[in-house]
Amino acid sequence: IGGMLGGLLVLYTGSPEIMRYFVALRMLRLVRLIKKIPSFRSTVGCIGSLIPTLGPPFYVLMLVIYVFAAVGQEIFGGYINPFNEIMLTPEYKDLGFWPGGNYYRSNFNDMI
């Protein structure tokens, strides 16, 4: 019924943006389903109790990723860019990194 009403509103208003709101409202049906089915309720409760426990391993993982990013930035920073003469050789050009692949965005010039 909601899809039909959304389709009619799109035809009436001429704006397909309104369908986003109907999709978001349909997502709220999942919350109602979690409340009704006991197995879903226990699964969500288990995940909720695991979140505080997973904090310290998550911090260690973020620290390791940060250290590897910092080391990679020091070693490889500035080498991978579209103006590097080595990267302009035919074996690199054939890989399709420039400009369509946007490989230069995935470099160690910064940690963002």
Model confidence pLDDT, tens digit, residues 48-81: 899 889 989 999 999 998 998 888 888 877 777 6
Mean pLDDT computed over 21-38: 78
Among 20-29, 36-45, 88-97, the range scoring the smallest mean pLDDT is 88-97
Mean pLDDT computed over 93-111: 61
**How far is Cα 6 from Cα 21, in angstroms, rounded to an integer?**
9
Would you state the pLDDT for residue 72? 83
Supply the DSSP symbol for 87. T
73, with CB counted inside 10 A (0-12, 13-18, 19+), is middle
User: Cα dist. 81→84, 108, 110 in Å?
Assistant: 6, 10, 12
- Using alpha carbons, select from 57, 72, 63, 84 the residue that is nearest to residue 109: 72
Mean pLDDT computed over 14-33: 73
Residue 102 has pLDDT above 60, yes or no: no
Residue 44 has pLDDT above 80, yes or no: yes
Would you state the pLDDT for residue 59? 94
Residues 6 or more apart whose CB falls under 8 angstroms from that of 40 comprise 33, 34
